[in-house]
Amino acid sequence: MSDFRDLVADAAARVADYRERVDSLPVFPQDTDIRGALGDLPEKPTPAADVIRRLAGAVEPALVATTGPRYFGFVTGGALDAATAADILTTGWDQSAFNHTTAPAAAVVEDVAGEWLKDVLGLPSTASFGFVTGGQGANTVGLAAARHHMLAKAGWDVERRGLNGAPALRVVASEERHATIDRSLRLLGLGTDAVEPVRADAQGAIDVADLERVLDGPAIVCLQAGNVNSGAFDNFAAAIALAHEHGAWVHVDGAFGLWAAANPASSPLVAGVETADSWAADGHKWLNVPYDSGYAFCAHPESHAAAMSFTAAYLTGHGDGDLRAPSDFVPESSRRARGFATWAALSQLGRTGIAELIERCCALARRFADQLGEVEGITVVNDVVLNQVLVGFGDETDRVVEAVQRSGECWMGATTWHGQRLMRISVSGWNTTEADVDRSVAAISASWKAVRERRRG
């Protein structure tokens, strides 16, 4: 056996060992001296096997068990078996998914996976798509297409002339938009002051009457599928119809919430979303693809390509002849072949498996809410319409969250929503079971009890 074969087999075995043990590890690591274990920059070459031994030795004790069944932070899921293995292959194959010349296999797999994604998410089959880094990347691409489209309608070629001297662009977005929308606007030169905020209702969905008040004429309207705190959905049918009456472009940030469309029981939450102009969704959240996986979709392929195309922005490039060039729809040139892991995740689950994943996570979120709501002094403050549960512990929330995190039993973060400090539970992992929820509820209840007793004591 070659050294390389041994090395890769060793790495694969480490991955398998880690995944087999992850359920029994503390979900958040104890303090370890990662820096010390990494050592100094070596003067001379080091055998690859020693490098990997050192890296794994330093890092493994400090890993967060995001692939385990009791990680409930940040709406990120774990990573499915097939998607993980496909991502390992992606690294080994080392293809640059620029276009059909650099990597024909990567280009075709992205084509196929992109079509499947539109199908599963209920988006128009004519929409264009780009495989990007995540929700942030997808929001940036969607808003760049919007910027191009709206300014072109006003007679201004933003790709060539930039924003200096351009007609003003209005951006209308909910006061509860995700922070990545603001960063995208910064990157695109529109700036955060461009946002005209619209009120949100008690659950964090956009107030359509207030949207009507704010809208007067062309604008970029940002809507949201899945409020990052409450999981609430904007009323797409009403809001999009209204925005289109004003000649607006509608971008939907659906990083995790767009997946509601893939499950018949939750798809009414996104009714009408397919009439928007651009959409952002994540692979590395609810689809349980390893990190570095997001999708930008656009109902106006010409505007999408005009904003992103590599060769020249004003030549709406569509690759070699009839072939779609992946790089015309993303902001990068040389790039990881992201389609392989997504294709593997979709293949492993199939249409019914995806629906079951979404349904199971929603049911488990309701289980959290039902059980925690029964405990004296604990309040569930949101309508649990999806996979998000917001839990209050009076003025002890931060202490309880901290105690739960320290227990290592499970992990969830804290948030401030409508002026209240709250525990934020997101159920997004493919491998979370009812028993994991029950065990986590027990850990939360125990922490709550301990914090209360300490306060009284």
Ligand X SMILES: *Cc1c(COP(=O)(O)O)cnc(C)c1O
Binding to ligand X by residue 286, rule CB under 6 A? no
Q: Does 319 bind ligand X (CB under 6 A)?
A: no
Alpha-carbon gap, residue 77 to 73, rounded angstroms = 9
The answer to the question of residue 130 lying near ligand X (CB under 6 A) is no
Q: What is the largest CA-CA distance in the chain?
A: 76
Residue 390 touching ligand X (CB under 6 A): no
Count the residues in the chain. Answer: 457
Q: How far apart are CA 133 and CA 127, in angstroms?
A: 19
Q: How far is the CB of 121 from ligand X (least distance, A)?
A: 15
**Burial profile 167-198: b = 16 or more Cβ within 10 angstroms, e = fewer:** eebbbbbbebbbebbbebbeebebeeebbeeb
Structure tokens at 340: 């392989």
Provide the minimum distance between the beta carbon of 366 and ligand X in the complex, in angstroms, as a whole number. 20
Among residues 228, 276, 306, 410, the one that binds ligand X under rule CB under 6 A = 228
Are 285 and 75 within 8 A, CB to CB?
A: yes
Residue range at the interface with ligand X (CB under 6 A); choices 98-106, 107-115, 249-257, 368-376: 249-257
Please, which residue, 177 or 324, has the CB nearer to ligand X? Answer: 177
Closer CB to ligand X, residue 75 or residue 85?
Answer: 75
Give the pairing of strands 420-426 and 278-282: unpaired
DSSP 8-state secondary structure symbol assigned to residue 274? G
Does 331 bind ligand X (CB under 6 A)? Our answer is no
The correct pick among 68, 69, 78, 134 for binding ligand X (CB under 6 A) is 134
CB 279 within 8 A of CB 254: yes
Judge contact between 106 and 330, C-beta under 8 A.
no
Q: How far is the CB of 399 from ligand X (least distance, A)?
A: 26
339-368: contacts with ligand X (CB under 6 A): none
Between 226 and 392, name the residue whose CB sits nearer to ligand X: 226
269 forms part of the interface with ligand X (CB under 6 A):
no
The angle subtended at Cα 206 by Cα 202 and Cα 208, nearest 5°, is 110
Question: Is the CB of 229 or the CB of 447 nearer to ligand X?
Answer: 229
> What part of residues 165-184 is at the interface with ligand X (CB under 6 A)?
178, 180
Phi, psi of 37 (to 5 degrees): -70, -25
Stretch that binds ligand X, among 97-105, 133-141, 182-190, 388-396 (CB under 6 A): 133-141
Nearer Cβ to ligand X (116/291): 291
- 98 vs 259, beta carbon nearer ligand X: 259
Query: Which range in 111-119, 128-136, 231-239, 369-377 contacts ligand X by CB under 6 A?
Result: 128-136
142 in contact with ligand X (CB under 6 A): no
Nearest to 266, CA basis, from 410, 366, 390, 133 = 366
Among the listed residues 129, 156, 256, 430, the single contact to ligand X using CB under 6 A: 256
Distance, in Å, from the CA atom of 272 to the CA atom of 268, rounded to the nearest integer, reads 9
> What three-state secondary structure class fits 264?
coil
- CB 218 → ligand X: shortest distance, Å? 24
Q: How far is the CB of 145 from ligand X (least distance, A)?
A: 17
CA dist 392 and 25 (Å) reads 27
The site for ligand X (CB under 6 A) is made up of 75, 134-136, 178, 180, 226, 228, 253, 255-256, 282, 294
